Structure 1
């Protein structure tokens, strides 16, 4: 038996590839199928099942495409209602793969169809659980996402999740290995550990959600401090329930070189948004006017989903040379399939065409220190927990995820400073503000990580783990 965790850092997502004898299964696959097909070919095994722990909200699964290419059957837990052919398993139903078995444990609460898959090895020993978004390391799945489809309140869903954990997960042996669907950085939880594998026994000891005295306490603690879910989540759920284009079609559609004139035409006549995926340092020095900067080297796909939201938005790419296919791949993982092409030759081709160029006013932390005074207006676009841990004195808490709410309140006649932790999120904010005609700001290079090294007055530091708990 072989178990491989295929972890994608950008999405903080874990897919799983399991082999026994000449058969294999894949749990929670990403959109692109080629990595899985390559593993199957290398191991000379047949894919028998594709298990889905639930209808994912934060990424688009490759289950349908993978099933068509391999003939493997798709398996969901009880109550699932996909628009394609699939096995809707019963609670405690067992599936044979080579010499091992996978038992379906229906664990509703995060969503109604959410299920945990229990692996039973060749000797009949219960060895591991693939817990999806039911149980994370350090946390559990948020119970506020499925309220509409379940026709239940978040408190009722939290209670259902508590019952699932107590009746299905907690009775399992301590030496069972937990393989969750997500890790730290995912918007599917609030308190996840950076590790991606752990024993169930350790989680029973350390996971706050598993150590609540009753259902009411569990619901209160799990729901406390949840940030609003990214608005693209609902669109991804709909895509995962229905039929979607294959990844191959998406790549063929988007991987087209465009001239600067083509880009202008698509913006004007097709309503395309220019997404510039270069790093913040290159972007601020020069970019196509009204471009949105979301750097590829960061939490790219989730921020695209959170900022652009509409997965049907036509997009034209400006990317570092050689990264175009990676950009299209990572966009497809969160359902943004309407890429119309990329600027051939990168930003240099636009610059060489002598078309209009815009810039962002970026200053160093040292320059910020010189300019800062008690009347300075500072916008901190980090998360609430980061802000509460430590911030510039009198800075305004303005999370990037809420930019549509606070951008309209900005006085365009007053100068302000803008920063995040390291410069990635503040440049996203800067590009959005610029595109809306708000230009009266200075973005701070290096963000709060570098501001801490200056004499600019700051609040007293408080550990984020204490804030979250």
Structure 2
């Protein structure tokens, strides 16, 4: 069967493309739809359907633009109530894509409209299942997101529905089916997903904790809900955009690709109160940046950290990027619903410096300098990695303030004594450093290379959870 997984690492997201006899379908597309249109053009095919496994929380889907540009029909599973024209399929309904068939299997649990699509080839053989956020490789979808949109859908209720869906709809299917999930490791839609992005259903029945044959519903609910972290604040906003509709990406790009001179950029920031978002790498940002700007580098998990650190998707944004990276930044912002980019600094940060405008820098130290500080004194060390990373191993005496909790825990960062900041590799700690600089902290340094470099030294480390660690 001709199926292609189109994987986007920044969001740990997988879309799928199938084609047969000049007819194609796309499953769970991202916001920018040109790659799917180009793929269909290569096959001389028409995209007949856009299948959605559910109303997504972690990205804005491209289904509406595909309908507009390719004339595709949008298909949701049972119970979906979008505010635009779409097919709400019935459980068991069959759709034809050339000589292929796509069978709707309603699998509520992650959300109530969540649906798995069974792929059947031209010979009538069942090939695989596109599972959305119902079943991942090594995990299953978290059941606590829908309650942020519909309050009576508690996580316990949804977890119960998910147990029934897995046992009654998924596990009875053939072991040789290939599982095609919507996400891989790094997504916030699960807690322990594998780095692998496909597997056989038979192997998942053996290794996936949530598919144990002897597991009771009570055990499933308890294990599924244990260890869930708070979902990013932008998730409910993206769900509503996917339900209600959104502005075309073309219009957003036209509006956002406004190039500002340094003078005009500063005036726009002052007049609008827009957030100045600097997307350069940490090392370049540290050497010089516009005062009050926030650093979230394009080369990391950019969209996810934007969603974590900027609570309102409607916040107006002004961009500082490397020249030539402006459209990429705007596109990746819009993937997660941040559609109010006003424009960018023409020529990047160098143009700001050449114009003689003021800038700041962030102090950084090497791991050797960190070792010397540890031997000469007892510095306060603040580790901004996730709690699970910190618990696995950390510098003795360090305090853990996970980056996504920094705004709620600014009191943990002293202004009356210096401190040392680090994460795993320097990406997240520079986000933290930029936020602290914006809020008035100056007496701190960031460790270049973070814990990845610290781990190579003889600096004392511990797996003991420090009593001052934030839960």
* 1:395 to 2:398 alignment: yes
User: Equivalent residue for 1:437?
Assistant: 440
Q: Is the 8 A contact 2:54 2:115 kept in 1?
A: yes
User: Equivalent residue for 1:384?
Assistant: 387
Q: C-alpha distance in 2, partners of 1:407/1:445?
A: 22
Once the two structures are superposed, residues 330-361 of structure 1 have per-residue CA deviations (whole angstroms, 9 ceiling, x without a partner) of 11100111111111111100001111110111
Q: C-alpha distance in 1, partners of 2:262/2:86?
A: 45
Q: C-alpha distance in 1, partners of 2:78/2:273?
A: 42
Structure 1 residue 452: Cα displacement:
1.3
SS in 2 for 1:7: strand
- Range that drifts further, 143-152 or 173-182: 143-152
Once the two structures are superposed, residues 116-174 of structure 1 have per-residue CA deviations (whole angstroms, 9 ceiling, x without a partner) of 00011111111100000000000000011112526132111111100000000000000
Q: How many residues align?
A: 462
Structure 1 residue 113: Cα displacement:
0.3
| Of 337, 362, 365, the match for 2:364 | 362
Q: C-alpha distance in 2, partners of 1:140/1:9?
A: 19
Once the two structures are superposed, residues 78-133 of structure 1 have per-residue CA deviations (whole angstroms, 9 ceiling, x without a partner) of 11111100000011111111111101110001001000000111111111000000
User: Equivalent residue for 1:168?
Assistant: 169
Q: C-alpha distance in 2, partners of 1:150/1:172?
A: 33
| Correspondence 1:186-335 to 2 at 5 A | 186-211=187-212, 213-335=215-337
| Correspondence 1:11-90 to 2 at 5 A | 11-90=11-90
* 1:180 to 2:181 alignment: yes
User: Equivalent residue for 2:469?
Assistant: none
Q: Is the 8 A contact 2:391 2:463 kept in 1?
A: no
* 1:119 to 2:119 alignment: yes
Structure 1 residue 184: Cα displacement:
0.2
Q: Is the 8 A contact 1:259 1:344 kept in 2?
A: yes
Q: C-alpha distance in 2, partners of 1:48/1:378?
A: 56
Q: C-alpha distance in 1, partners of 2:43/2:257?
A: 31
Q: Is the 8 A contact 1:275 1:293 kept in 2?
A: yes
Q: C-alpha distance in 1, partners of 2:188/2:79?
A: 24
SS in 2 for 1:10: helix
Q: Is the 8 A contact 1:112 1:150 kept in 2?
A: no
SS in 2 for 1:450: helix
Q: C-alpha distance in 2, partners of 1:100/1:346?
A: 49
SS in 2 for 1:17: strand
Q: Is the 8 A contact 1:147 1:157 kept in 2?
A: no
Q: C-alpha distance in 1, partners of 2:378/2:282?
A: 28
Q: C-alpha distance in 2, partners of 1:136/1:461?
A: 31
Q: C-alpha distance in 1, partners of 2:151/2:412?
A: 36
After the TM superposition, which parts of structure 1 deviate over 4 Å for at least 4 consecutive aligned residues? Answer: none
Q: C-alpha distance in 2, partners of 1:451/1:429?
A: 18
Structure 1 residue 394: Cα displacement:
1.2
Q: Is the 8 A contact 2:107 2:169 kept in 1?
A: yes
Structure 1 residue 243: Cα displacement:
2.1
| Distance verdict in 2 for CA 1:420–1:360, change over 3 Å | same
SS in 2 for 1:164: helix
Q: C-alpha distance in 2, partners of 1:333/1:109?
A: 24
Q: C-alpha distance in 2, partners of 1:25/1:151?
A: 34
TM-score (norm 2): 0.96
Structure 1 residue 418: Cα displacement:
0.5
Q: C-alpha distance in 1, partners of 2:175/2:43?
A: 31
Structure 1 residue 454: Cα displacement:
2.2
User: Equivalent residue for 1:467?
Assistant: none
Structure 1 residue 375: Cα displacement:
3.2
Unaligned runs of 5+ in 1: 463-469
SS in 2 for 1:179: strand
User: Equivalent residue for 1:465?
Assistant: none
Structure 1 residue 410: Cα displacement:
2.5
Once the two structures are superposed, residues 36-68 of structure 1 have per-residue CA deviations (whole angstroms, 9 ceiling, x without a partner) of 111111111111110000000000001011101
TM-score (norm 1): 0.97
* 1:98 to 2:104 alignment: no
Once the two structures are superposed, residues 384-409 of structure 1 have per-residue CA deviations (whole angstroms, 9 ceiling, x without a partner) of 11101100001111100101111134
Q: C-alpha distance in 2, partners of 1:107/1:314?
A: 38
- Range that drifts further, 31-40 or 135-144: 31-40
